[in-house]
Amino acid sequence: MASSSSEENQNNNNVTFRQWLVTMFSKINAKVGSVIMKLKKPGEDDPRRVIHSLKVALSIIIVSGFYTVQPLFDYFDRNPMWIIITVILVSEFSVGATLAKCFNRGIATISASALGLGCYYVVNLIRGGHIVTPLLLGTLIYITVAGMTYIRFVPELKARYDYGFLVFILTFCIVALPSYEEEDLLDIAKRRVITIFTGVLMWVLVSIFVYPIWAGDDIHKLVTKNLEKLGVSIQGFGDECFGTSEGSEGGSNNKSNVQAYKSILNSKQIEDSLVNFVRWEPGHGRFRYGHPWKQYLKIGSLLRQCASLIDSLNGFLDSTKTPSSSEIRNKMEEACMEISKETGKALKELSMSVQKMVPPHDANPSIERSKIVATKVKSILKSGLWEGTNLFEDIPIMSVTYLLLDVVSCTHKLADSVNELSIQAKFKNKDAKVASNNCPPTHHEENNIGVHHHVITIN
């Protein structure tokens, strides 16, 4: 009996240990899987992030050669580490951000080195002894650092040159402080400038010539997607609020479409930074030099205004679904549905226009139809037909109607802004170009096809 009970306890212990091992392995496996998914997500969201990582590693490997090549190692005073540090500090994602940071770092290094040398010569010129010299040097450093730090608070300068001010302060201190020990300041400043410009040049070449990532492409795609999201949201609101689609799948799709606008509300910071970076980029791809990037900010501002209107409309989704036998309300619902449909279609056409860089002529019919419906709605609202109805029940549909009228006005402003962008950027109508290519040649063109071809015109 005792031996059987001990064997049973031992078996139970073995089973418990196996279960514990299985549980531990499953937890470890789940944790590892979660970490792998988190690591894969940035690359899946934007594969260019993987390419950027490889570019940074490539540039570091190249500049590491300054350690292995003895003449280069000796030329940089057996310490080329500042080149590697510079590459790491200026390795931004896009070409525009890279050029902005490199420009800031280069100009700040030159100006700070020059000012540091100036402090050195001023200190040596006065030669006030062990008391006056450090006080004078400390006063010069104090005034310069305080002034540069204060200038960083100017919004216009902070947006574009904040990194430059930081590098200026750092370089100035590196060059100016050794002047007290009477070191060779000219050699320090020269080595500082050469190492910085070597690292900057290396990353600029890799950034531009190895799979370049342009901020101009990003801001162009962002505005295009936001226009499309806005069109999807306004049409989704019409379908969800006044439509007749049934079924869980259709209902979930409509709800997701209605919520598509939400990312637009928080896009201002991204747009501002991209436009700030793209100003540093040369002409590339479809974007010539002097492309009207500021117009994208104007379009983005109007997109956020329209998105806020849709956000307000979503607050009336549930209240407008209450059944009502009011004839005026039924007319308003029909008009609101028409406005949602036409404005959504117009916004999608504007998105296609920006994407293809063609004039936004295709959006004009939908905009005109939405304006006609809006005019009819305004006349109904002014006619006094709401008198005698239950206003408490009709307040939601009236609020939705007024908000949709604002959406029509905002869509019209967006169309004007996109049209202005097409004029400033000189968008070309590709359909017209194709049509001109398909037109039969004129008599003069036929006569120039070959010397053996003659065209005789008989009246």
pLDDT-derived band at 459, boundaries 50, 70, 90 = very low
Q: Given a cut of 90, is residue 300 above it in pLDDT?
A: yes
Q: Given a cut of 90, is residue 227 above it in pLDDT?
A: yes
Q: Compute the half-sphere exposure of residue 40: CA atoms within 13 Å on the CB side of its CA.
A: 6
Q: Given a cut of 60, is residue 39 above it in pLDDT?
A: yes
Q: Which residue has the higher pLDDT, 398 or 246?
A: 398
Give how far the C-alpha of residue 222 lies from the chain's centroid of Cα atoms, to the nearest Å: 6
pLDDT at 49 (0 to 100): 92
Q: Which residue has the higher pLDDT, 390 or 239?
A: 239
The 3-state secondary structure of 276-327 reads HHHCCCCCECCECCCCCCHHHHHHHHHHHHHHHHHHHHHCCCCHHHCCCCCH
For residues 228 and 351, the answer to whether their CB atoms sit within 8 Å is yes
Q: Tens of pLDDT along 404-449?
A: 999 999 999 999 999 999 999 988 876 544 333 444 444 333 333 3
Q: Between the CA of residue 459 and those of 440, 456, what are the distances in Å?
A: 19, 10
For residue 416, give the DSSP letter.
H
Q: Which residues contact 75 (CB under 8 A, 6 or more apart)?
A: none
Q: Which two tokens stand for residue 164?
A: 């430059």
Is the model's pTM score more than 0.95? Answer: no
Q: Tens of pLDDT along 144-167?
A: 999 999 999 998 888 788 899 999
Which among 330, 332, 325, 304 has a CA at the least distance from the CA of 399? 332
**CATH 1.20.58 domain span(s) along the chain:** 215-438
Average the pLDDT over 269-285 and give the result: 90
Q: What percent of the chain has pLDDT over 90?
A: 36
pLDDT-derived band at 325, boundaries 50, 70, 90 = low
Average the pLDDT over 11-21 and give the result: 71
Q: Which two tokens stand for residue 134?
A: 């450090």
pLDDT-derived band at 353, boundaries 50, 70, 90 = very high
Average the pLDDT over 331-357 and give the result: 90
Q: Given a cut of 70, is residue 298 above it in pLDDT?
A: yes
pLDDT at 177 (0 to 100): 77
For residues 275 and 219, the answer to whether their CB atoms sit within 8 Å is yes
pLDDT at 395 (0 to 100): 76
For residues 87 and 202, the answer to whether their CB atoms sit within 8 Å is yes
Q: Given a cut of 70, is residue 458 above it in pLDDT?
A: no
On whether the 215-438 domain is CATH 2.60.40, my answer is no
Q: Which two tokens stand for residue 444?
A: 């003069």
Measured distance CA(429)–CA(423) in Å, rounded: 11
Residue corresponding to tokens 């004029």: 423
pLDDT at 431 (0 to 100): 53
Which among 412, 396, 389 has a CA at the least distance from the CA of 333? 396
Measured distance CA(240)–CA(245) in Å, rounded: 8
Q: Tens of pLDDT along 361-399?
A: 999 999 999 999 999 888 877 776 666 666 666 677 788
pLDDT at 440 (0 to 100): 43
Measured distance CA(203)–CA(62) in Å, rounded: 10
Residue corresponding to tokens 């006569």: 447
Q: Given a cut of 70, is residue 127 above it in pLDDT?
A: no
Q: Which two tokens stand for residue 370?
A: 């939405």
Q: Given a cut of 60, is residue 169 above it in pLDDT?
A: yes
Q: Tens of pLDDT along 247-270?
A: 334 455 556 677 888 889 989 999
Q: How many CB atoms lie within 10 A of CB 458?
A: 3
Q: Between the CA of residue 272 and those of 60, 219, 296, what are the distances in Å?
A: 30, 9, 10
